[in-house]
Amino acid sequence: MSEKYTTETILVIDDEDIVRQSFCDQLEDLGYKVLEANNGKSGLALALSELPDLILTDLRMPLMSGIDLLDNCVRLLPDTPVIVISGAGLIEDVVQALHLGAFDYINKPVRNPNLLQATVSRAMQQVNLQRENKNYQLHLEQLVAERTTALSESNAQLELHKHSLEKLVDLRTEELVEVIDNLNNTQQQLVEAEKMASLGRLVAGIAHELNTPLGICLTFISSLQEKLTNFQRAFHKGQLRKEDFVSFLQSAKETSTIVTSHLTQASELVQDFKMVSVDVSSEMKREFDLVEYTKNVVNSLKAEVFESKIRIQYDRSSDYGINSYPGLFTQIFTNLIINSVTHAFVSGIAGKINIQLQLVGQVIVIIYEDDGRGMTEDTRRQVFEPFFTTTRGSGGSGLGMNILYNLVVNNLSGTVECQSQVNLGTKFIIKFPR
């Protein structure tokens, strides 16, 4: 007797009642629940309806042989092991059964109950293992399914997130474009405002500059007028003396000299002011070689530069042909060279001037350098301001560099930069698109 009590069910199929009963008794003793059938056909039906854990079947039976039953079981109940019971001397049947998929075989009659127990429990172990395996597999599949669901959920969330991010980026881009537009507008307005401000400074400067010569003229002319009135009065009264006449003539001569000189000065100023807004449209635009043109301008200034040496450097393999207003370059170089002569090369020192012409891509770069006495930082900062000059008393109007600035920035759409240090010379870098 076994102490084992299980719910494991074994189906015993045998047409010999005594044999079948003996099996059933022994198995029940071992603690199994036992079902029985006395032929293959009803055995199969019972197996399909009750789904036992293990089948023990005889091989030779009426209606359906054990081999046919085994064949059916292997197909229909692949997880249920079948142990065949064979009579002595039927070894071919056993071999065929094992080929077909029988789990094991037992010879009958069973004389050793331990053998039956061992065979059955091995089969049961196999069943349990298979079940465990199956459960484990199921569990794994479930796990995979769960993970797959979770993954696709997070994928969906990611997709959503991506969408909202894209939308956000679009939105921000739109906002940025708007901000940039606004900035551009503001910049434009600032540029306009600055233009108006410098125009204002220019007008104020013009008024200030003209005030002196015109004021002097007015003083002298008024005084002459007064003298003329006195002169006329004396003449009509017949009181005009010779000395009065000579004195009046002297005054008239002096006044006219002074007035002429100051009016000339005023007129020159007006000419200079006109230059500030150089009217390029009145000059013809044409194709010319910048190197050749620069050489011509420098040659024409020979008389002005005295002993100073001017060197022009350029790349011989480059083409310096441009389509522009040549007069513009005359003014630019004249202003630069005359400035070097008047401001940099003082007390008769013959300095050196170096003009470099470069072609960087489609940009023309002019580097003008002198080795003169340079400028203080304060002067350098204001050099392009209209009316800024350090030589007001000796004829400077302070318009030269402002004219140059306007020509480069407004007419050539370029830039000009001034680098200078006291005693270390001055450098102007002009860049403009070809």
Give me the residues that bind ligand ATP (CB under 6 A), please.
335, 339-340, 343-344, 370, 372, 374-375, 379, 383, 388-391, 396-402, 426
Backbone φ, ψ for residue 413 (5° rounding): 50, 40
Q: How far is the CB of 376 from ligand ATP (least distance, A)?
A: 9
Q: How far is the CB of 395 from ligand ATP (least distance, A)?
A: 7
Q: How far is the CB of 403 from ligand ATP (least distance, A)?
A: 8
CA atoms within 13 A on the CB side of 79: 14
**Interaction mask 329-368, Mg ion, x per CB under 5 A:** ----------x-----------------------------
Could you tell which of Mg ion, ligand ATP, none binds residue 379, using a CB distance below 5 to 8 A set by kind? ligand ATP
Could you tell which of ligand ATP, Mg ion, none binds residue 372, using a CB distance below 5 to 8 A set by kind? ligand ATP
Which residue number has the CB closest to Mg ion? 400
Length of the chain: 434
Q: How far is the CB of 400 from Mg ion (least distance, A)?
A: 3
- For ligand ATP, the closer of residues 3 and 378 by Cβ is 378
- For ligand ATP, the closer of residues 262 and 343 by Cβ is 343
User: C-alpha dihedral over 305, 311, 315, 320, to 10 degrees?
Assistant: 10
Is 400 a binding residue for Mg ion by CB under 5 A? The answer is yes
How far CA 410 is from CA of 116, 186, 253, in Å, comes to 114, 20, 46
Q: How far is the CB of 404 from Mg ion (least distance, A)?
A: 9
Is 398 a binding residue for Mg ion by CB under 5 A? The answer is no
Q: How far apart are CA 390 and CA 402, in angstroms?
A: 14
Q: Which amino acid is at 44?
A: L
Tell me the torsion sign for CA atoms 228, 232, 233, 235: positive
**Peptide bond between residue 109 and the one before it cis (omega within 30 degrees of 0):** yes
Of residues 60, 55, 26, the one with CA closest to residue 43: 55
Spatial strand order in the sheet of 363-370: 309-314, 352-360, 363-370, 426-433, 415-420
Give strand pairing partners of 312.
355
- For ligand ATP, the closer of residues 295 and 427 by Cβ is 427
Could you tell which of Mg ion, ligand ATP, none binds residue 388, using a CB distance below 5 to 8 A set by kind? ligand ATP
Of residues 342, 324, 327, the one with CA closest to residue 395: 342
Q: How far is the CB of 346 from ligand ATP (least distance, A)?
A: 9
Which positions lie near Mg ion, rule CB under 5 A? 339, 400
